[in-house]
Amino acid sequence: MPHEYRKDPEVISRLSPEQYRVTQDAGTEPAFNNAYWDNKEPGIYVDVVSGEPLFASVDKFDSGTGWPSFTRPVEPKNLVEVRESSFGTVRTEVRSAHGDSHLGHVFDDGPVEAGGLRYCMNSAALRFIGRDDLEREGYGEYRGLLEHPDGGR
C-alpha cells in the first residue's frame, strides 16, 4: 500500500516553536543542543511534517559538528536540493520533497569511503522511529536496512 506523504496543516499547527522555526522558516537549531546529534539507536528518521522517510541510522556518523549527519538518504526521491547564497557563501539546502520542510544542508566533506557527502540535518525537522517501532508506525519495509551490515541495499 503506497504511503501518501504531504504537508499537513494540522501537523504544522502542532509543531513546537523550534520545529516550526526550523522547518517552515529555514532556521537552524543550536549545535550539540538538539535531540539526535548523538543518537546511536537503530532506526530511521522521517520528516516531522510529512512522515516521509529520509535517513537511516546505518548511514549516520559523528561529524563533530553537533548536528545529526548522514552519508546518504534512505529515499533520495524524498529530498530536494536547492542551491542558496547566504552570508557570502554558496551552499546546498536540503528540503523534504513532499512536506517541503527545511531539513538542513548537504556538504561535500563527508566520509570519502561512503561517497563523500555529509547531510547535516536539524533534529527539529526529524522524527526518529526506532527499529522496534517500525512495523507499528507503518515503516516495516525499512527494517531490512537496519539488519544487514551493508544497510540491506
pLDDT digits 0-9 by tens, 7-54: 989 999 999 999 999 999 999 999 999 999 999 999 999 999 999 999
Question: Do the beta carbons of residue 44 and residue 55 sit within 8 Å?
Answer: yes
Torsion sign, CA atoms 139, 97, 107, 39: negative
Q: What is the pLDDT of residue 148?
A: 63
pLDDT over 90 for what percent of the chain?
A: 84
Burial annotation 5-20 (CB, 10 A radius, 16+ → b, else e): bebeeebbeebeebbb
Q: Does residue 151 fall inside a structural domain?
A: no
Distance in angstroms (rounded) separating the CA atoms of residues 58 and 20: 27
CB 35 within 8 A of CB 43: no
Task: Point out the catalytic residue in the list 54, 94, 103, 120.
Answer: 120
Does 1 map to a domain? no
Residues 58, 146 contacting (CB under 8 angstroms): yes
Per the domain annotation, does 27 fall within a domain? yes
139 domain-assigned: no
Across the range 103-107, mean pLDDT stands at: 97
CA dihedral 100, 20, 132, 66 (to 10 degrees): 100
Mean pLDDT over the full length of the chain: 92
CA-CA distance, 20 to 153, in Å (whole number)? 33
CATH number at residue 102: 2.170.150.20
- Give the residue-averaged pLDDT of 101-109: 96
What CA–CA distance (Å, rounded) separates 52 from 5? 6
pLDDT at 1: 42
What single DSSP character describes residue 59? G
pLDDT single digits (tens) 106-125: 999 999 999 999 999 999 99
Structural domain that includes position 121: 9-132
| Number of domains the chain is built from | 1
Residue 104 within any structural domain of the chain = yes
Is 30 assigned a catalytic role? no
The pLDDT-based confidence of 65 (bands split at 50, 70, 90) is very high
Residue 129 has pLDDT above 90, yes or no: yes
